[in-house]
Amino acid sequence: MYTVTVRRRQEATGRSSLLGSLPRRGFAVALYKKGQSLNGINVFLKICTQWTEKQTKSALAKARGACFSALLMPKKNTFSPTLIAWFKKIQRPLPWRQDYLPYHVWISEIMLQQTQMDRAVPYFERWMDRFPTIASIADAPEDEILKYWEGLGYYTRARNIRKAALVICAEHGGEFPAEHKAILALPGIGPYTAGAIASLAFGLDVPAIDANVERVYARLFDIDSPIKEKDAKKRVEALSAELLPAGQARDYNQAVMELGALICTPRAPRCESCPVAEHCEARRLDIVAFRPVPGKKKDITPLNVVCGVLEHKGKIYIQKRPQGAVWGGLWEFPGGSIEAGESPEQAVVREFQEETGFQVRIADKISIVRHGYTRFRVTLHCYFLQADAPLPPSTMSAADECLWATPEQITERAFPAGHRKLIDLMRQDLRFSQYI
């Protein structure tokens, strides 16, 4: 019985009325005196009528904390060793797990924020063949780094890798810093990545909390508020710190993440194969499907856009997006949004003219490409264009560079996902494959 039932007690009459309950189990009402520290199973909470909202919230938070202590204590001795033993048995042989070099852990962690483990391995190997050291990243042009990141999305992360490499070379003599604070100060490295690098590469006792870890703790400890909100986050942080066994952060952090990735998955978790099922509150209460509590869903915005592939004298016009814009530094085929009342055909001719100054006509419709990024669902209408008159130099009103490209030059450059999909489609289409 771990229930905390919260009642408001009238001082004058001694009567109390029910306000609600914290983690819902059984029935336990008693008295919690302000400031009293609790670690028992039955938590007694009094809310005085004259308390301000802030005082009431603080009392509730203390009661919640007491509940967690009660839940945590029996788990502490067996939970972490069981989980670590399971991880040691099932862990997958991955290139960055051979020696846990800080540079390898760093790059793998950034890649794994974009993609599944299996897909990340070939990207990682290709990256390490080309950039075997941190100095080799610092020396490489941004274009090439973006090319090696192509397909992983979120290109800011690739740019930040380069920025961090420059800082490491300038301020740390080319060696990855070993202190948690210094890791956290590098460009593009947030609390999760810093925790992962500190614990995996340097064995520091620092938690690494990603979405997998949040989900696992939300289920194991029946966290009943939206997992992305402050209250739940604080509880996950406290649990991670409390359960992490000293000196074993590398194995423990990976074990929790791996549990989330392989067993305690977002949909249809495999509780029957879970090594810590006996510790799981959500399973015991049969509410696994309701944990974690979802937050407010982000609105998805549909976007209808056009792009044009202009062929002239056997070459294709491409341009480089301006630094600072979305996908800055990547190459693209000119285009943009369809305006109200416009057809896609009118939009592509107008956009091309605005961005390059070229007068073009539609020679063929290529296809419609659908893809999503952040909170947008994009429908990209793609056209093959030609020009009848000789072309002047491009005005480049929405680009930093431009190029009349051969197929080889197109292959060498990095494009956003939608345009890369378009290139792949054109290469399989006999109408266009000779040009691209």
Active site amino acids: 109
Both tokens assigned to 83? 């989980």
Candidate segments 38-46, 87-95, 198-206, 266-274, binder of ligand SF4 by CB under 6 A: 266-274
Size of the chain, expressed as the number of residues it contains: 436
Closest CA relative to residue 280, chosen from 88, 42, 78, 92: 78
DSSP string, 170-211: HHSTTSPP-SHHHHHTSTT--HHHHHHHHHHHH--S-----H
Look-up: residue for tokens 């994009």?
378
How does DSSP classify residue 50?
T
Q: How far apart are CA 220 and CA 223, in angstroms?
A: 8
Pairing of strands 335-337, 361-373: unpaired
Give the alpha-carbon dihedral of 355, 361, 366, 368, to 10 degrees. Answer: 50
In this chain, which of 263, 366, 380, 417 binds ligand SF4, going by CB under 6 A? 263
Q: Does 264 bind ligand SF4 (CB under 6 A)?
A: yes
Are 259 and 275 within 8 A, CB to CB? Answer: yes
Q: How far apart are CA 436 and CA 424, in angstroms?
A: 9
What x/- string results for residues 81 through 120 when contact with ligand SF4 is judged by CB under 6 A?
Answer: ----------------------------------------
Candidate segments 67-75, 93-101, 224-232, 274-282, binder of ligand SF4 by CB under 6 A: 274-282
Q: Does 256 bind ligand SF4 (CB under 6 A)?
A: no
As measured in angstroms, the least distance from the Cβ of 183 to ligand SF4 is: 29
Q: How far apart are CA 335 and CA 355, in angstroms?
A: 8
Site for ligand SF4 in 142-161 (CB under 6 A): none
Candidate segments 43-51, 279-287, 351-359, 388-396, binder of ligand SF4 by CB under 6 A: 279-287
Both tokens assigned to 60? 């509730």
Which one, 23 or 308, has the nearer CB to ligand SF4?
Answer: 23
Which helix (H) or strand (E) element contains residue 424? helix 417-427
Which one, 220 or 402, has the nearer CB to ligand SF4?
Answer: 220
Helices 211-220 and 249-258: angle between axes, nearest 10 degrees? 80
The angle subtended at Cα 52 by Cα 51 and Cα 58, nearest 5°, is 85
As measured in angstroms, the least distance from the Cβ of 258 to ligand SF4 is: 12
Q: Does 282 bind ligand SF4 (CB under 6 A)?
A: yes
In this chain, which of 274, 309, 318, 405 binds ligand SF4, going by CB under 6 A? 274
Give buried/exposed letters for 38-53 (b at 16+ CB in 10 A, else e): beebbbbbbbeeeeee
Q: How far apart are CA 100 and CA 175, in angstroms?
A: 14
In this chain, which of 7, 162, 283, 320 binds ligand SF4, going by CB under 6 A? 283
Closest CA relative to residue 313, chosen from 140, 161, 435: 435
As measured in angstroms, the least distance from the Cβ of 64 to ligand SF4 is: 20
In this chain, which of 94, 167, 277, 398 binds ligand SF4, going by CB under 6 A? 277
As measured in angstroms, the least distance from the Cβ of 209 to ligand SF4 is: 16
As measured in angstroms, the least distance from the Cβ of 113 to ligand SF4 is: 22
As measured in angstroms, the least distance from the Cβ of 279 to ligand SF4 is: 8
What x/- string results for residues 206 through 235 when contact with ligand SF4 is judged by CB under 6 A?
Answer: ----------x--xx---------------
Partners of 304 in beta bridges: 379
How many residues make contact with ligand SF4 (CB under 6 A)?
14
As measured in angstroms, the least distance from the Cβ of 242 to ligand SF4 is: 17
* Contacting residues for 296 by C-beta, under 8 A, at least 6 apart: 226
In this chain, which of 280, 347, 417, 426 binds ligand SF4, going by CB under 6 A? 280
Q: How far apart are CA 421 and CA 423, in angstroms?
A: 5
As measured in angstroms, the least distance from the Cβ of 216 to ligand SF4 is: 6
Which helix (H) or strand (E) element contains residue 347? helix 344-356
* Contacting residues for 231 by C-beta, under 8 A, at least 6 apart: 61, 225
Both tokens assigned to 244? 């992490």
As measured in angstroms, the least distance from the Cβ of 259 to ligand SF4 is: 7
Q: Does 288 bind ligand SF4 (CB under 6 A)?
A: yes
Candidate segments 77-85, 130-138, 172-180, 281-289, binder of ligand SF4 by CB under 6 A: 281-289
Which one, 227 or 380, has the nearer CB to ligand SF4?
Answer: 227
Site for ligand SF4 in 381-400 (CB under 6 A): none
Which one, 269 or 335, has the nearer CB to ligand SF4?
Answer: 269
Q: How far apart are CA 221 and CA 34, in angstroms?
A: 25
Which one, 281 or 311, has the nearer CB to ligand SF4?
Answer: 281
Q: Does 255 bind ligand SF4 (CB under 6 A)?
A: no
Interacting residues toward ligand SF4 by CB under 6 A: 216, 219-220, 263-264, 269, 271, 274, 276-277, 280, 282-283, 288
